[in-house]
Structure 1
Amino acid sequence: MKILIIEDHKDLASNITDYLKKEDYVCEVASDAKEAIDKIELFEYDCILLDLMLPDGNGLDILKHIKNYAPGASVIIVSAKNSLDTKLTGLDDGADDYITKPFSLPELHSRIKAVLRRKTPEANRILSFNEIKIDLESKECRINDQLVNLTKKELNLLIYFINNQNRMLSKQAIASHLWGDYTYSIDNVDFVYQHLKNLRKKVLDAGGKDYLQTVYGLGYKWIDK
């Protein structure tokens, strides 16, 4: 899961990022409205944590921008403003939840999990592709009903490929999805290859088919052979 943290308080943004990364989220930070809008227009996020008071803009204006450019992203307003009117305005404008500063990081994580569950009905929590089944809640992968021990990166990579089957994915896009948008400033992302190699081997060892196709010079495709 990929999260954008829109927060100008550097220490708070860093604490949230460190905590959520330990829970296996990919986190990006925007410290002002301009940076937030740029990221929302360029990249996809599962959940956005939105501060209302930014040095160069109003968070409620950014919320409207999110609803236009990223309607599928869940939004949790994280603000020191505790008035009922502000909360109602944020929720009426499309936010999924509202948490008031100060808050505990475990509570914030629970709120994130709750809004993401609401976006993923129980019937859709099992991602299936032929002999491969992934429980998106428990993070378990089974191939031919056999439990497969995947690392967090390998599991996220497999989900990413299945959700984008038949699409050519560049190494840069894969790196960005797994490690964050900062990888766009890295010239060499060949480290992606080792994760692909390990994932392919584990799928084959469990009796799965080889769905991963290399598009030489461009990237990779997950295709139903």
Structure 2
Amino acid sequence: MKILIIEDEIDLLHSVQEFLEQESYLVEFATNYETAVVKVLSYQYDCILLDIMLPGGSGLDILRLLKNEKKDQPVLILSAKDSVEDKVLGLEIGADDYLAKPFHLSELLARIKSIVRRHMHQGDHVISYKDVKLNPDLRQVTVGSKEVILNRKEYDMLYYLMLRPNKLMEKTTIAETVWGDNADQADNLDFIYSQIKNLRRKLKEANAQIDIQAVYGVGYKLI
């Protein structure tokens, strides 16, 4: 799961980044308005943590940009500006939630999980497809009653594909989602193949009713 932190307070940024990475999130960041705009328009994130006061512009303008561009990316506002007006305006523009600084990291994590559930799987804690169940909170995958042990990349790929069954996903999109935005600068995307191969093997060994189909030269889809 990929998170974008838009924050210019470097100590806070690093603290949140380290915490979320320990929770197995893939974290990208932007420290100013211009960089943030490039990232939100170029890539897709599971959740954006957005400060209102940024060098070069306002986080509220980023919200307006997302709305105008019809980019459905969940947003949690993080700001020291705790006035009712700022909160209401942010939510009216399109933010999903608002958390005032200072905050506890455990509360931040709970808010992120809640927002992602609402956007990605209609509030359910478990994602199901055929006989496979995936619990994002526990990072646990089961086929029937049997748990399937996956490494981090295998899990992240399965999670991404299970949210989009029968939909062809390009290799570049999978790479950016699982490995980060810099993955599109790689000379090739062969590193995806080995992870897909191992994931398919583990699902087959568990007699799962799903498989990952390769579409040569394009990408993969869950069938």
Normalising by structure 2, we get a TM-score of 0.86
1:10-159 to 2 correspondence within 5 Å?
A: 10-69=10-69, 72-119=72-119, 120-122=121-123, 124-159=124-159
Following TM superposition, by how much is the alpha carbon of 1:68 offset from its aligned partner in structure 2, in angstroms? 3.2
Tell me, yes or no, if structure 1 residue 171 matches structure 2 residue 186: no
1:185-224 to 2 correspondence within 5 Å?
A: 185-209=185-209, 211-223=211-223
Structure 2 letter corresponding to 1:18: E
Between the aligned residues of both structures, percent identity stands at 42
1:171–1:190 contact (8 Å) kept in structure 2: no
SS in 2 for 1:5: strand
**Separation in 1 of the partners of 2:106 and 2:70?**
26
C-alpha distance 46-69 of structure 1, shift in aligned 2 (>3 A): farther
Superimposed CA distance per residue, residues 135-164 of structure 1 (whole angstroms, 9 cap, x where no aligned partner): 344332222332212223222211222333
SS in 1 for 2:142: strand
**Separation in 1 of the partners of 2:73 and 2:217?**
32
Per the alignment, residue 9 of structure 2 pairs with 9
Following TM superposition, by how much is the alpha carbon of 1:199 offset from its aligned partner in structure 2, in angstroms? 0.6
Aligned residue-pair number:
222
**Separation in 1 of the partners of 2:76 and 2:129?**
32
C-alpha distance 9-185 of structure 1, shift in aligned 2 (>3 A): farther
Q: Structure 1, unaligned stretches of length 5 or more?
A: none
2:74–2:95 contact (8 Å) kept in structure 1: yes
SS in 2 for 1:165: coil
Following TM superposition, by how much is the alpha carbon of 1:13 offset from its aligned partner in structure 2, in angstroms? 2.0
C-alpha distance 104-40 of structure 1, shift in aligned 2 (>3 A): same
**Separation in 2 of the partners of 1:45 and 1:216?**
26
Structure 1 letter corresponding to 2:219: G
Structure 2 letter corresponding to 1:174: I
C-alpha distance 168-92 of structure 1, shift in aligned 2 (>3 A): closer
2:130–2:210 contact (8 Å) kept in structure 1: no
1:153–1:178 contact (8 Å) kept in structure 2: yes
Superimposed CA distance per residue, residues 79-120 of structure 1 (whole angstroms, 9 cap, x where no aligned partner): 122333222322333322222223332232222223334444
Structure 2 letter corresponding to 1:87: K
**Separation in 2 of the partners of 1:121 and 1:104?**
26
Stretch of structure 1 that moved more, 197-206 or 78-87? 78-87
